[in-house]
Amino acid sequence: MLPWTSRPAARRLLASATRAAAASASASAAARSPPSATRRDDSALLLDDRKEEPWQHTAVRGEDVFWPDGRRLPTQHPQHRTKASRDHSGLTRQLLDFQHDTVNEVDGDYDPFGQLKARFMDFKQRNYVENYSKYQNLAEQQTPEFMVVACADSRVCPTSILGLQPGDAFTVRNIANLVPPYEHGASETTAALEFAVNTLKVPNVLVVGHSRCGGIQALMSMKNKKDDSSSRSFIRDWVSLGKSARLSTEAAAGNLNFESQCRHCEKESINSSLLNLLTYPWIEERVKEGTLNLHAGYYNFVDCTFEKWTLVYRPGLEGGSKYAIKNRSTWS
């Protein structure tokens, strides 16, 4: 039996032999050649030929799929498989069967990846090749100095504006750079925080907000009245995590115009995210120990300035606020 990794190549050779056969006898012989089975996931198998003996490869009997040792794998009846899953399997099969083939197909004269390719090749030559040992070390492990939570806005790239290099920062970007509270549960942001703090042991978490944030504008546009539940909006559901920042903004800057309120809320929501970070037990513990610091940044791309401040947490303080801000500065 062919090794698992050799089967895609075997299928390509078999397909070529079948197409090249001129006589029916040759085609028949090719058809009798041992087919291969490719496992797509834990619950479905795609077989080239279902006449294969079970002791040779994985076999199908009726609607049941069996491994060579007789164990049955659960399968779905073909009529119950969705069109999307069939399309996905077809694409996966093409990737496996023709992974070494390339087709250069561009609609018209514009190739959106042309510049990306040029930039990648420039990066490879100027960074990777000239700092080969550094990138080999990074291939073995990462020890970033920062965990960065930034906005998905295309104008706010922390790597570019802060000059971060590969290995410097473990980064997650979302709408409005929000950090959900611990009780919110799993999300890509909370998973990234858990990995960065507990596994990578980063010493600094930096939440970066920015000017003219569309997520904050959506948050400030929400009214206190109950939203129409007939239409689902993922954006509304997500930015509602910043409701406390919106309420604080309305209380402090409600007399200002909408643009000014949004600018106020952009910074208010950063502080709200810093406080939300402390709702995670493993973050609070490291902050208390002094092995983790929580920072905020605000990037104004209108005049290209950057504000930075650090949160002070004093859990044992009686009376007054347990939180304060230190080391505030503006880079301009």
Higher pLDDT, 240 or 70: 240
Using alpha carbons only, give the angle 230, 236, 238 rounded to the nearest 5 degrees.
Answer: 130
Q: Report pLDDT for 109.
A: 76
* DSSP 8-class letter at 176: G
Q: Please check the confidence at residue 90 and state whether its pLDDT lies above 90.
A: no
Higher pLDDT, 47 or 213: 213
Using alpha carbons only, give the angle 160, 162, 164 rounded to the nearest 5 degrees.
Answer: 75
Confidence of residue 87 (pLDDT cuts 50, 70, 90): low
Q: Report pLDDT for 120.
A: 95
Per DSSP (E only), the strands in 36-161 are: 37-39, 45-47, 59-61, 64-66, 72-73, 146-151
> What is the percent of the chain where pLDDT is above 90?
60
Q: Please check the confidence at residue 325 and state whether its pLDDT lies above 90.
A: yes
Q: Report pLDDT for 19.
A: 55
Q: Report pLDDT for 231.
A: 74
Q: Report pLDDT for 317.
A: 79
**What is the bridge-based pairing of β-strands 305-313 and 323-331?**
antiparallel
Q: Please check the confidence at residue 205 and state whether its pLDDT lies above 70.
A: yes
**Under a CB-based contact definition with an 8 Å cutoff, are residues 278 and 285 in contact?**
no
Amino acid at 224: N
**Winning range, highest mean pLDDT, from 10-19, 26-35, 217-226:** 217-226
Q: What is the pLDDT of residues 232-268, one digit of tens each?
A: 789 999 999 999 999 999 999 999 999 999 999 999 9
Cα 132 to chain centroid, rounded = 27
**Under a CB-based contact definition with an 8 Å cutoff, are residues 227 and 236 in contact?**
yes
**What is the bridge-based pairing of β-strands 146-151 and 169-174?**
parallel
Q: Report pLDDT for 83.
A: 59
Closest CA to 100 of 232, 226, 172, 11: 11
User: To which H or E segment does residue 89 belong?
Assistant: helix 83-97
Q: Report pLDDT for 110.
A: 84
**What is the bridge-based pairing of β-strands 204-210 and 305-313?**
unpaired
Q: To the nearest 10°, the Cα dihedral for 101, 106, 107, 109?
A: -160
What pTM, to 2 d.p., does this model score?
0.68
Q: Please check the confidence at residue 85 and state whether its pLDDT lies above 80.
A: no
SS3 215: helix
* Mean residue pLDDT across the chain: 80
Q: Report pLDDT for 29.
A: 46
Q: Report pLDDT for 320.
A: 78
Q: Please check the confidence at residue 304 and state whether its pLDDT lies above 50.
A: yes
Higher pLDDT, 262 or 228: 262
Q: Report pLDDT for 35.
A: 44
Q: What is the pLDDT of residues 169-189, one digit of tens each?
A: 999 999 999 999 999 999 999
For residue 79, CA distances in Å to 63, 115, 200, 318 come to 12, 44, 46, 66
**Under a CB-based contact definition with an 8 Å cutoff, are residues 59 and 52 in contact?**
yes
Confidence of residue 135 (pLDDT cuts 50, 70, 90): very high
Q: What is the pLDDT of residues 142-161, one digit of tens each?
A: 999 999 999 999 999 999 99
Higher pLDDT, 188 or 66: 188
Q: Report pLDDT for 168.
A: 97
Higher pLDDT, 247 or 73: 247
Tally the C-alpha atoms within 13 A of residue 13's C-alpha that lie toward its C-beta.
9
> What is the percent of the chain where pLDDT is above 70?
65
Q: Looking up tokens 């992974």, which residue turns up?
A: 99
**Under a CB-based contact definition with an 8 Å cutoff, are residues 276 and 268 in contact?**
no
Query: 243-253 and 214-221 helices cross at what angle (nearest 10)?
Result: 70
Q: Report pLDDT for 153.
A: 96
Closest CA to 143 of 181, 196, 220: 196
